[in-house]
Structure 1
Amino acid sequence: MTEEHYSVETVVIGAGVVGLATARALAQAGQEVLVLESGAAIGEGTSSRNSEVVHAGIYYPEGSFKAGLCVRGRQLLYDYCQARNVRFRKCGKWIVATDSTQLAGLEKVQAQAACNGVKLVAIDGRMLKARQPGLQAFAGLWSPETGIIDSHGLMLSLQGELEDAGGQLVLHSEVLSAESVAGEHRLVVAGDAPVILRARRVVNAAGLGAPGLARRWGGLPDTCQPRQWLAKGVYFSYSGHHPFESLIYPLPEPGGLGVHLTLDLAGQARFGPDVEWVEQEDYQVAPERAAAFARAIRQWWPGFEADRLQPAYAGIRPKLSGPGAASADFRIDGPETHGIPGLVHLFGIESPGLTSCLAIADKVVGLLE
């Protein structure tokens, strides 16, 4: 078959929430933008398999991308949703210590949040029970800036504004390989016949697929092809009534934030995610994992009824550090990192990627300018 050749000014690879936010920002900045998505719809990966929480910016190391982009992105996101009628609710969350041995951990979380410019309110167990009936905890921290969001509604809004600004989205368009040479990027795109796209600027926002694509990128230094680990987390929904109006989080655990209670915009409770290190993408939810969830939840909710847990869905965190290692920061590799003009790779965009999406987009625009 004969190769088809096309040229475009800017390509964004991946139509998750970060890819769409970035493509929108580039299109609104006056660039001709084409978004290539390997799947059949937008946001089928990590963007639609998470807690849909708008994070305050509490846990991340001071000065990290995660801290700065989360804090800035959170306010950008609330303002965006307010202006465009994307559904959200600033419901707040409780971070709880279930006994006195966890008080030091709670104080550490509060100190880290303060370093990031996020204020948390400490409260003792008696006042906590009065504020949040049904919750049993020794002490807690209140985060008023935490919320929940309709992530699919957000992505549809971003897609609409991308297209209003002249950008285009093409589904079923996997980028098989790429090469950067002489100030141009050459992408090989899957199709009935090979399609060769030439672009002046490219953003690799392929989520779980971003590191693999980097390894197939001619001209990219080995140091800019990071290893990725996959941390699977499953969620269980809770049928019927519950007493909570805010999110409930235990202290963080290795690999994640622990099995916590989140709410959807209709008020239904769900629990998760746990952490399971896997070798490949697997989105099955094993019903037997509910037993471990129940043990964790009963530590702070005595009225919990295990038979009301139902398997919901699973997600995969794209980790840049493996089991037992400290959580790695986002990697936003622009020309100053790899030496290639007009190219940005986004690696390890796990939580708080949803919260940070608009701030990440602004960062990428700046690197490409």
Structure 2
Amino acid sequence: MTPDFDVCIVGAGVIGLAIARQLSRHYSVLILEQADMAGSETSSRNSEVIHAGLYYPPGSLKETLCIRGRELTYPFCQQFDIPHQKTGKLIVSPSAAHPELERLQQTAKRLNIPLHHLDSQQIKQMEPEVAAAAALWSPETGIIDSHQFMQALQHQAEQAGALLVCRSQVTGAHSSGPLWKVDVETPDGPWHIHCRAVINAAGLQAISLMAALEGINTHTTDTSVHTNTRIPQLFPARGHYFSYQGKSPFRHLVYPLPEPGLAGLGIHATLDLAGQLRFGPDVEYLDQHTAFGPSRYAVSADLRSQFAGAIRRYWPGLDENNLHAAYAGIRPKLSAPGCPAVDFVITRSDISTPPIWHLLGIESPGLTSALAIAELIEKKLAAEIG
């Protein structure tokens, strides 16, 4: 049987679009997205930060793909006129001898990432409104217009022949000889396509899609397992953002020290490309019903005092009345509350089937890592289908 496409990518967030751009140079590519448009969920609901790669466990996918992704993303933005700015960021500490400062400095040295220690006087010179005993200055950190980034990825993929079809939900897939038969539900009814390989980049739905596919063990909830026969459990976590009305007192990004276990990077101050200040995200674990329900992106104004308390730890001059509920996003976490963060999981289901790769738990630094993840998938696919 002749395949309809070489590759079917499920999910048109930033990861799916980056993979589509990469693969469409050599393969015929179909992208299936269940929403009305590409990039409208997790990929458009984040801090829009290009991370340097300092926070992640040594040798982890998060570390290696973040660093490689950063190295690819800045030139990509320059080449294709994607709005971005290498703002740099301050990682601030309430104490001058906090052990996390030393750990981050050692990580930066190991990875050859520029990072500079600042005392309280140097902090005041850089950001007069920031109160901290010490800080680390990361000049490689920046911001990006994530929407234009995704539009560029989509445009380049489509120029190379990729086809994006929205309002199309993949409900299952079955191996048929050397091909996959992919079942799709659309407003016009069900249909199916045959392809040589499937890439599951469905974000929050990636684990449920993996469970729906043929020949996978769906009975484990072990989140530490990274083998190709186990399905991890999803722990969706909402992060809220508040905007700040008025002129920003900051010229750079300002981050507290990361939370224990890397549950999050703390409620930090980021800027958009127009200079508008916003704060977030916090971490609120959700049950499955809420995470996929109609109010999943709600931001309660009642969170304002909680945000204000966290922000005043490094900006005591905050006027709480200028904080306004803005937006929220949901991270597809693989770690339970109180547990250390789990690495990205990029795994093949079953070597006896045609190629099918699952991308699970792609939370931060997913935006920074997108182009590097696309490179990795291309290498894995080329090794199997040429």
TM-score tier (shorter): over 0.9
Alignment of 1:110-259 (within 5 A): 110-191=105-186, 192-222=188-218, 223-254=229-260, 255-259=263-267
**Structure 2, unaligned stretches of length 5 or more?**
219-228
**Structure 2 residue aligned with 1:19:** 16
Per-residue deviation, 1:338: 5.2
**Structure 1, unaligned stretches of length 5 or more?**
none
Per-residue deviation, 1:108: 1.6
State TM-score, norm by structure 2: 0.91
Task: In structure 2, give the amino acid aligned to 1:187.
Answer: V
Judge conservation of contact 1:59–1:113 (CA < 8 Å) in 2: no
Per-residue deviation, 1:7: 2.5
Work out the CA distance in 2 between the residues paired with 1:46 and 1:312. Answer: 15
Q: Please point out which of 30, 37, 40 is paired with 1:41.
A: 37
Per-residue deviation, 1:225: 2.0
Task: In structure 1, give the amino acid aligned to 2:256.
Answer: P
Q: Do residues 366 (structure 1) and 379 (structure 2) align? A: yes
Secondary structure of the residue that 1:128 maps to in structure 2?
helix
**Structure 2 residue aligned with 1:59:** 55
Report the number of matched residues: 362
Per-residue deviation, 1:115: 3.0
Identity, in percent, stands at 48
Per-residue deviation, 1:257: 0.4
Work out the CA distance in 1 between the residues paired with 2:54 and 2:302. Answer: 32
Secondary structure of the residue that 1:232 maps to in structure 2?
strand
| Change beyond 3 A, Cα 1:180–1:114 | farther
| Change beyond 3 A, Cα 1:23–1:144 | same
**Structure 2 residue aligned with 1:312:** 326
* Structure 1 stretch displaced more, 223-232 or 81-90: 223-232
Judge conservation of contact 2:268–2:279 (CA < 8 Å) in 1: yes
Work out the CA distance in 2 between the residues paired with 1:357 and 1:232. Answer: 21
Q: What's the CA shift string for 1:254-311, capped at 9, x where partnerless? A: 4100000000000000000001110132110010111111011111112111000000
Work out the CA distance in 1 between the residues paired with 2:47 and 2:337. Answer: 22
State TM-score, norm by structure 1: 0.95
Work out the CA distance in 2 between the residues paired with 1:212 and 1:108. Answer: 36
* Structure 1 stretch displaced more, 202-211 or 246-255: 246-255
Alignment of 1:61-80 (within 5 A): 61-80=57-76
| Change beyond 3 A, Cα 1:221–1:113 | farther
**Structure 2 residue aligned with 1:340:** 353
Per-residue deviation, 1:339: 5.0
Q: What's the CA shift string for 1:55-105, capped at 9, x where partnerless? A: 0001001100000000010010000000000000000000000234x6212
Per-residue deviation, 1:186: 1.6
Judge conservation of contact 1:86–1:153 (CA < 8 Å) in 2: yes
Work out the CA distance in 2 between the residues paired with 1:135 and 1:122. Answer: 15
| Change beyond 3 A, Cα 1:45–1:338 | farther
| Change beyond 3 A, Cα 1:339–1:348 | farther
Q: Do residues 286 (structure 1) and 300 (structure 2) align? A: yes
Over 4 Å off, 4+ runs: none
**Structure 2 residue aligned with 1:103:** 98
Per-residue deviation, 1:187: 1.1
Judge conservation of contact 2:3–2:179 (CA < 8 Å) in 1: no
Judge conservation of contact 2:299–2:327 (CA < 8 Å) in 1: yes
Q: What's the CA shift string for 1:311-367, capped at 9, x where partnerless? A: 0000111011111111000011137x7553321110000000000000000000111
Judge conservation of contact 2:18–2:374 (CA < 8 Å) in 1: yes
